[in-house]
């Protein structure tokens, strides 16, 4: 993190975002994301960390404008000073902001060859057909697929999980986006391939001044790839801190619990027993599972406090 810019240019700003999914008729679920503020600077690598169900994917889908139709969205999403939440302007989705989707196994169209699906993106950008193959070959080599022509001719079911993930990476990076939203890019891969994809992503991003929003439940992936981490619990952010402070200075009880939880043992931070303090929906969202809670946690919503430059916590207990 040597060369911090003097003036931070905000690439993406999410302002007070609340997303609710409709269950049926007028029956709405509790917000999947509530009152969320996040900003990504030009060139910043930000990780959104939380367990499944925390609302991480909802953020990604809200930014891309691909939430299901029966969804209520409040707040603003601003990309380079332009609002993109109500109407996505031309040429941003898939070009300036790309999503590397979560489910590698089902994110490629099963009835079209990988090459066709990549070429359709080039066609969107008006790349003339004679140039397409060559560009794709070098792109696939960049994501370390050793036999690009075979991959281009293959249907998705002929590719392994790791290869599909690399094709999706290639699809994301092909159009030189400014912001990459990677939604659990290593989901479903074994530990060796997971590391391979993370190292690849790191190398690819190091070459360009691209911004990354990494969505993950794996703190190690966040530490490996990003410089800032935001912790998310049940639709709300609870802590934001530089990666360099994560292991030693993280303060929110949830962050600490998640750091101590071992994924190998299947332990989930959110399942700790709380101190029996109940909340009427007004208090801290983590109170029911927090081991350090005090009575005020059940009554008042904690506010953000900056405990160190760039390190913000939302907790009553942290002094």
Q: What are phi and psi of 301, to 5 degrees?
A: -75, 125
Nearer to other proteins, 97 or 145 (CB): 97
Closest residue by Cα to residue 161 from 185, 141, 136, 133: 185
Q: Give the tokens for residue 183.
A: 């939604």
Q: Judged by CB under 8 A, does residue 82 bind other proteins?
A: no
Q: Which stretch binds other proteins (CB under 8 A): 35-43, 92-100, 128-136, 262-270?
A: 92-100
Nearer to other proteins, 175 or 245 (CB): 175
Q: How far apart are CA 52 and CA 226, in angstroms?
A: 20
- Alpha helices for 174-285 (secondary structure H): 191-207, 219-225, 243-249, 253-260
Nearer to other proteins, 16 or 109 (CB): 109
Q: Judged by CB under 8 A, does residue 112 bind other proteins?
A: yes
Q: How far apart are CA 53 and CA 178, in angstroms?
A: 28
Among 2, 110, 276, 281, binds other proteins (CB under 8 A): 110
**CB neighbours (10 Å) of residue 47?**
26
Q: Judged by CB under 8 A, does residue 158 bind other proteins?
A: yes
Among 16, 52, 109, 291, binds other proteins (CB under 8 A): 109
Among 111, 192, 273, 303, binds other proteins (CB under 8 A): 111
Q: Judged by CB under 8 A, does residue 132 bind other proteins?
A: no
Q: How far is the CB of 226 from other proteins (least distance, A)?
A: 21
Asked if residues 35 and 18 have their Cβ atoms less than 8 Å apart, the reply is: yes
Nearer to other proteins, 187 or 245 (CB): 187
Asked if residues 304 and 296 have their Cβ atoms less than 8 Å apart, the reply is: no
Closest residue by Cα to residue 217 from 291, 163, 268, 286: 268
Find the binding residues for other proteins in span 159-188 (CB under 8 A): 168, 171
Which residues contact other proteins (rule: CB under 8 A)? 64, 66, 91-95, 98-99, 101-103, 106-113, 120-121, 124, 155, 157-158, 168, 171
């Amino acid at each position: 993190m040597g060369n911090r810019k003097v003036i931070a240019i905000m690439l993406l700003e999410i302002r007070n975002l609340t997303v609710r999914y409709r269950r049926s008729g007028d029956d709405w679920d509790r917000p999947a994301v509530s009152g969320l503020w996040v900003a990504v600077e030009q060139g910043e690598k930000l990780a959104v960390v939380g367990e499944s169900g925390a609302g991480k994917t909802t953020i990604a889908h809200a930014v891309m404008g691909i939430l299901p139709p029966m969804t209520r969205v409040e707040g603003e999403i601003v990309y380079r000073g332009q609002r993109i939440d109500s109407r996505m302007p031309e040429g941003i989705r898939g070009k300036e902001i790309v999503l590397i989707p979560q489910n590698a196994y089902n994110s490629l169209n099963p009835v079209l060859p990988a090459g066709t699906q990549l070429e359709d993106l080039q066609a969107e950008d008006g790349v003339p057909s004679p140039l397409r193959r060559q560009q794709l070959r070098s792109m696939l080599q960049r994501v370390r697929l050793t036999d690009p022509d075979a991959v281009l001719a293959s249907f998705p079911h002929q590719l392994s999980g790791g290869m599909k993930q690399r094709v999706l990476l290639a699809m994301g990076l092909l159009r030189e986006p400014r912001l990459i939203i990677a939604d659990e890019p290593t989901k479903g891969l074994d530990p060796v391939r997971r590391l391979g994809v993370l190292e690849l992503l790191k190398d690819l991003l190091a070459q360009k001044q691209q911004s990354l929003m990494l969505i993950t439940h794996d703190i190690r992936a966040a530490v490996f790839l990003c410089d800032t981490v935001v912790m998310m619990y049940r639709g709300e952010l609870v802590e934001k801190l530089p990666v360099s402070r994560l292991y030693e200075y993280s303060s929110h009880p949830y962050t600490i619990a998640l750091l101590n939880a071992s994924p190998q043992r299947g332990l989930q931070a959110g399942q700790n027993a709380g101190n029996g303090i109940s909340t009427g929906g007004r208090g801290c969202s983590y109170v029911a599972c927090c081991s350090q809670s005090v009575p005020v946690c059940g009554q008042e919503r904690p506010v953000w406090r900056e405990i160190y430059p760039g390190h913000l916590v939302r907790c009553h207990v942290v002094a």
